[in-house]
């Protein structure tokens, strides 16, 4: 088993280093895998002139799973579009066919205060957003900016095929089966034909999952309901664009995006795992970033790609103990808890593995 380690930019190297320590601790404990580092994003542009260089392509093609820190930073904003760090991320998703993005939004009871929402609204929050990740307006053609009748016009194409919708629907229904058996599919069928097809195909797929309760919601309403009563949701499935927006909204409901991992999977459980937060260039290199989202991403990797449920749970339990023990990085610090840096937080998790 081979894991490609792409630390990326900003705080990426620091937080990935802690997740790697955790993986290594499990290895010395019996789990077998190789860890192979590689470059993605701004660091790859600096080293190789492009955000997703050939050598990284080969590395991730050969790997069973990828652990990613984060990419991007203000120093890359002026680069031409194809060199920007996020193009590396989009290319890797597409190349590896990582169509299923799983983004849990979970409120850890110890961090309930961190939410801007009232405790009674978010206590026990546990939503899983399943976002389609390789289709939609992100990749649709035609696209571009051109002159028409003497003025610039910008355009993109939102597009989904039946097969693309069906395979993500299956992932979502199956995920719902392992949870509370409720699935809410989000679309904008009253305006967009593309999402009318989405609703039709999800509804057809539901016939294979009579044990899962399916509902549909318009995206504008979903953006409201997440604020009004987020606990009404169990699993939410939606397209790439709406999923980008709603999953970020949902994660912020927890108040601690430094805590939230994600998985992006292909159809044979090969996956890329990354924290949902960004590269936070302003705090890079200062040993203050929270490594827990990355560490929990490593746990997701053990669960989804390597089917090592026990090892995944060991990591997750260690994180729970660390929180219960009062350890907090700056982003989740409250008076009365112990403020620690990135490396010390890694130490604390290791001590509880």
Ligand X SMILES: CC(C)[C@H](C(=O)O)[C@@H](O)C(=O)O
Binding-site positions for NAD(+):
73-86, 278-290
Is 306 among the residues that bind a second copy (CB under 8 A)? no
Decide which of a second copy, ligand X, none touches 121; Cβ closer than 5 to 8 Å per partner kind: a second copy
Q: How many Å apart are CA 28 and CA 18, to the nearest integer?
A: 16
Q: Looking at beta carbons only, is 50 or 244 nearer to ligand X?
A: 244
Task: Work out how close the CB of 313 gets to ligand X at its nearest, in angstroms, rounded to a whole number.
Answer: 26
Q: What is the DSSP letter of 59?
A: H
Q: Among 24, 97, 196, 269, which residue interacts with a second copy (rule: CB under 8 A)? A: 196
As given in the structure block, the two tokens for residue 327 are: 């350890």
What phi, psi does 261 have (nearest 5°)?
-90, 175
Task: Work out how close the CB of 79 gets to a second copy at its nearest, in angstroms, rounded to a whole number.
Answer: 11
Interface residues for a second copy in 37-56 (CB under 8 A)? none
Is 295 among the residues that bind a second copy (CB under 8 A)? no
Q: How many Å apart are CA 83 and CA 80, to the nearest integer?
A: 6
Task: Work out how close the CB of 248 gets to ligand X at its nearest, in angstroms, rounded to a whole number.
Answer: 7
What phi, psi does 7 have (nearest 5°)?
-70, -35
Decide which of a second copy, ligand X, none touches 157; Cβ closer than 5 to 8 Å per partner kind: a second copy
In this chain, which stretch among 50-58, 133-141, 176-184, 285-293 interacts with a second copy, using CB under 8 A? Answer: 133-141
Is 163 among the residues that bind a second copy (CB under 8 A)? yes
Task: List, as residue ranges, the binding site for Mg(2+).
Answer: 220, 244, 248
Burial of 250 (0-12, 13-18, 19+ CB in 10 A): buried
Q: Looking at beta carbons only, is 9 or 14 nearer to ligand X?
A: 9
Nearest CA-CA partner of 33 in 3, 74, 68, 60? 3
Q: How many C-beta atoms surround the C-beta of residue 334 within 10 A?
A: 12
Q: Among 37, 140, 281, 325, which residue interacts with a second copy (rule: CB under 8 A)? A: 140
Is 197 among the residues that bind a second copy (CB under 8 A)? yes
Decide which of ligand X, a second copy, none touches 137; Cβ closer than 5 to 8 Å per partner kind: a second copy
Residue 107, CB-side half-sphere exposure with 13 Å CA sphere: 23
**Token pair 């009062």 in the structure block, residue:** 326
Burial of 173 (0-12, 13-18, 19+ CB in 10 A): buried
Active centre residues (catalytic): 138, 188, 220, 244, 248
Q: Among 28, 30, 49, 81, which residue interacts with a second copy (rule: CB under 8 A)? A: 81
Task: Work out how close the CB of 330 gets to ligand X at its nearest, in angstroms, rounded to a whole number.
Answer: 23
Cis bond leading into 142, ω under 30°?
yes
Is 203 among the residues that bind a second copy (CB under 8 A)? no
Query: Is the separation of the CB atoms in 275 and 264 below 8 Å?
Result: no
Task: List, as residue ranges, the binding site.
Answer: 73-86, 93, 103, 131, 220, 244, 248, 278-290
As given in the structure block, the two tokens for residue 53 are: 């260089």
65-70 and 2-8 as β-strands: parallel, antiparallel, unpaired? parallel
Q: Among 58, 143, 286, 338, which residue interacts with a second copy (rule: CB under 8 A)? A: 143
Q: What is the DSSP letter of 145?
A: E
Which 3 state secondary structure label does DSSP give 111?
Answer: helix
Q: How many Å apart are CA 202 and CA 220, to the nearest integer?
A: 19
In this chain, which stretch among 33-41, 60-68, 239-247, 286-294 interacts with a second copy, using CB under 8 A? Answer: 239-247
Binding residues for a second copy, rule: CB under 8 A, are: 81, 84, 86, 90, 116-118, 121, 137-138, 140, 143-145, 148, 151-163, 188, 190-198, 200-201, 219-221, 223-229, 241-242, 244-249, 251-253, 255, 257
């Amino acid at each position: 088993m081979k894991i490609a380690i792409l630390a990326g930019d900003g705080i990426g190297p620091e937080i990935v280093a802690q997740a790697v320590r955790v993986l290594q601790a499990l290895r010395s404990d019996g789990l077998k895998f190789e860890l192979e580092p590689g470059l993605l994003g701004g660091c790859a542009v600096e080293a190789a002139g492009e955000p997703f260089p050939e050598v990284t392509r080969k590395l991730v093609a050969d790997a069973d799973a990828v652990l990613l820190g984060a990419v991007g930073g203000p120093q890359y904003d002026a680069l031409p579009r194809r060199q920007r760090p996020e193009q590396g991320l989009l290319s890797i998703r597409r190349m590896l066919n990582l169509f299923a993005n799983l983004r849990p939004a979970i409120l850890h009871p110890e961090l309930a205060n961190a939410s801007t929402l009232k405790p009674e609204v978010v206590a026990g929050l546990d939503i899983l957003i399943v976002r389609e990740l390789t289709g939609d307006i992100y990749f649709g053609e035609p696209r571009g900016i051109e002159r028409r009748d003497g003025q610039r016009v910008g355009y993109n194409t939102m597009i989904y095929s039946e097969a693309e919708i069906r395979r993500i629907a299956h992932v979502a229904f199956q995920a719902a089966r392992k949870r509370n058996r409720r699935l809410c599919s989000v679309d904008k069928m009253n305006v967009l034909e593309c999402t009318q097809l989405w609703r039709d195909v999800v509804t057809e797929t539901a016939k294979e999952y009579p044990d899962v309760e399916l509902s549909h919601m318009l995206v504008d309403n979903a953006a409201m309901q997440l604020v009004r009563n987020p606990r009404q949701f169990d699993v939410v499935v939606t397209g790439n664009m709406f999923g980008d927006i709603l999953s970020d909204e949902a994660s912020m409901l927890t108040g601690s995006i430094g805590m939230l991992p994600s998985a992006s999977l292909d159809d044979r459980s090969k996956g890329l795992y990354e924290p949902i937060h960004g590269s936070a260039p302003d705090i890079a290199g200062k040993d203050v970033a929270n490594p827990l989202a990355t560490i929990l991403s490593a746990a997701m990797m053990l669960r989804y790609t390597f089917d090592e449920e026990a090892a995944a749970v060991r990591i997750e339990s260690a994180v729970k103990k660390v929180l219960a023990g009062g350890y907090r990085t700056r982003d989740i610090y409250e008076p009365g808890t112990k403020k620690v840096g990135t490396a010390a937080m890694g130490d604390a998790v290791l001590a509880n593995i």
